[in-house]
Structure 1
Amino acid sequence: MITILGPTASGKTDLAARLAYDLNAEIISADSRQVYRRMDIGTGKDLDDYTVNGRDIPYHLIDICEPGTKYNLFRYQEDFRKSYQSIVNRGRLPILCGGTGLYIESVLKGYQLSPVPQNEYLRKSLAEKTLDELVPMLEQLKRQTGSIMHNTTDVDSCQRAIRAIEIETYNVQHPMAKREMPGVDSLIVGLDIERNARRAKISHRLKSRLENGMVDEVKSILDSGVDADSLIYYGLEYKYVTEYIIGRLSYDEMYHLLEIAIHQFAKRQMTWFRGMERRGLHIHWIDALSPMEDKINIIKKLWQ
């Protein structure tokens, strides 16, 4: 398998699709929000990128569940394994592409996870606590389990923090309830983009998405019956645009806070990828801004 990773706005999808065209490959998404139907502009699905020279490139794990549901790492591993096996069985090459480092690392290294049920008693006991109270509780549990998941920078709401505490509490209480998930050998290619160039691309893309209907997209999801808290749970675009729509933020406040949040998110992505290297995964970094043909040729040489 070939894996293409990088921070948001680095051009991963376009590169993966062009490479898949040349190698007769299929793409498996590694994006924790592109699994949701109708959440298109805000998650940057860029589905047009999957058509190269008039040919549709097959893709997997995009648009597989409804907004409002809680997709998780355990389900991703299961869905990845099914897609991966199907592609390999048909004699095609899988290309894993995305920016959700936890999802990528979980399948490359074969994380052993357990399906964690909801703990209603725990949830009720934590319901009145603030985020500042919940985060130290999570950090203490992580020290007990040795977990690298649920970074405090990613737990940006009480709802997310409570779910993370629920998972880590379960892992403390059920350390043996695991199942085998073999890792996958992969050539890993990272798109490296200089900080200022990355920030410029993020800002330009945010402006473009807002001009091309992102607010209307969020309104339509809310109008379909998905409650505001469920969309806020997904963070970034869906968090801030929802808060604008329901009147918590002005348009300018929404734009400013969202822009900052996406820049911070991209920085966290790079921190995670560097951590993957420290944890034993070798990433071949290439310049995200170099010509497409140069990037394709570098990857082909590495693959050979």
Structure 2
Amino acid sequence: MDSKQKLLVIIGPTAVGKTKLSIELAKQYNGEIISGDSMQIYRGMDIGTAKIKIEEMEGIPHHLIDIKEPEESFSVAEFQQLVRAKIAEITSKGKLPIIVGGTGLYIQSVIYDYQFSDAPADEKLRLQLEERAMEIGYEALHDELTKIDPESARQIHPNNVRRVIRALEIYHCTGKIMSEHQNNQQPDLLYETALIGLTMEREKLYERINTRVELMVSAGLLEEVSQLHKQGIRDCQSIQAIGYKEIYDYLDGKVSLSEAVENLKQNSRRYAKRQLTWFRNKMGVEWFDLSNALDLSKKITEISHYVEGKLQVKSNT
């Protein structure tokens, strides 16, 4: 049997410092980076998603950035397929694939042997639910899922009606909620994986998040979102992203700009908290604390030793 492909995964909450570390490790281990962020796939959404700039890449190839238009939808299953193909492609060049991101469910779907469709199906029920979605609207159907399975509802966008229906169908067919069905699977790791998690003292992380939001605003976030707003792009997956929905509220006259910015900071902090909870509960992560900035080079050395031991790779430096 073929040995498993090697894979380095760097996860952690927003603003913790994943990008900088990923570049260092990619240089060290001849790596190429795959974005594990469900929003950096969208073109024209650069500032609000904290997308890496060309000059910051330092010549390291990056994949799965700018591959969709903002009005297009994107599913976990599609992400799983694209990333697995990229891992094979990068490995075939003799390079190390490195997934970097904060969208837990997406990354989990790639590295574990999850089956998205192995629960029983009921075609008749599915058609009834599709009709119901048309009658009562996507939001109302999503609310029904929230009452039954809040964890799945948090992960599925209301407009992704196919996934909402699938989650309801699984519950009706099995009496088990979809998140429980997935939790009960004992998935195998498909790759020889080093799974690194970056964390930081909460106060320090929240301070960084607030600063990042202020930098986004001064870098032109309002102009970026206004462009999408002027094009009439709304009610789609991309605009529900943190950084976009808050500014849309301002552009729609619902809140003042200062309120929108405060909401953006608060939603980003809450999201970071949810990310950490997800990673801690769902994945076998080796955690590294980046609270002490003076200690960073020492921390990178520590992480490098872990990667070399876990993946049996040698550093170029």
TM-score category of the 2 structures, normalised to the smaller one: 0.7 to 0.9
- Which of 299, 302, 306 pairs up with 1:302? 306
The answer to whether 1:194 aligns with 2:201 is yes
Determine the structure 2 residue equivalent to 1:287: 290
Normalising by structure 1, report the TM-score. 0.82
- Which of 96, 103, 106 pairs up with 1:103? 106
Contact 1:38 1:67 in 2 (8 A): yes
Determine the structure 1 residue equivalent to 2:242: 236
Output aligned runs, 1:40-119, within 5 Å.
Answer: 40-48=46-54, 50-52=56-58, 56-114=59-117
Q: Which amino acid aligns with 1:77?
A: Q
Q: Which amino acid aligns with 1:216?
A: E
The answer to whether 1:28 aligns with 2:11 is no
Q: Which amino acid aligns with 1:102?
A: L
Count how many residue pairs are aligned between Structure 1 and Structure 2: 282
Determine the structure 2 residue equivalent to 1:210: 217
Output aligned runs, 1:257-276, within 5 Å.
Answer: 257-276=263-282
Determine the structure 2 residue equivalent to 1:123: 133
| Distance change in 2, residues 1:11/1:267 (3 Å) | same
What are the ranges of 5 or more consecutive residues in structure 2 without an aligned counterpart? 1-6, 175-186, 309-317
Shift of 1:129: 6.3
Contact 1:232 1:240 in 2 (8 A): no
What SS does the corresponding residue of 1:236 show, helix, strand or coil? coil
Provide the rounded CA distance (Å) in 1 between the counterparts of 2:278 and 2:38: 15
What SS does the corresponding residue of 1:15 show, helix, strand or coil? helix
What SS does the corresponding residue of 1:37 show, helix, strand or coil? coil
Q: Deviations over 1:24-60 (max 9, x none)?
A: 10011100100101100000012246433xxx10111
Q: Which moved more, 1:164-173 or 1:81-90?
A: 164-173
| Distance change in 2, residues 1:250/1:168 (3 Å) | same
Percent identity reads 30
RMSD: 2.9
Provide the rounded CA distance (Å) in 1 between the counterparts of 2:269 and 2:102: 14
Provide the rounded CA distance (Å) in 2 between the counterparts of 1:232 and 1:247: 20
Q: Which amino acid aligns with 2:254?
A: R
Q: Deviations over 1:190-230 (max 9, x none)?
A: 1111100011000011011011100100111233x342322
| Distance change in 2, residues 1:30/1:299 (3 Å) | same
Shift of 1:100: 0.6
Shift of 1:293: 2.2
Q: Which amino acid aligns with 1:135?
A: D
Provide the rounded CA distance (Å) in 2 between the counterparts of 1:101 and 1:210: 26
Contact 1:109 1:182 in 2 (8 A): yes
Q: Deviations over 1:53-94 (max 9, x none)?
A: xxx101111111110111110110011011111001111001
| Distance change in 2, residues 1:139/1:84 (3 Å) | farther
Provide the rounded CA distance (Å) in 1 between the counterparts of 2:223 and 2:147: 38
Shift of 1:245: 1.2
| Distance change in 2, residues 1:47/1:150 (3 Å) | farther
Determine the structure 2 residue equivalent to 1:135: 143
What are the ranges of 5 or more consecutive residues in structure 1 without an aligned counterpart? none
Normalising by structure 2, report the TM-score. 0.79
Q: Which amino acid aligns with 2:131?
A: Y
Contact 2:42 2:238 in 1 (8 A): no
Q: Which moved more, 1:238-247 or 1:24-33?
A: 238-247
Provide the rounded CA distance (Å) in 1 between the counterparts of 2:139 and 2:306: 50
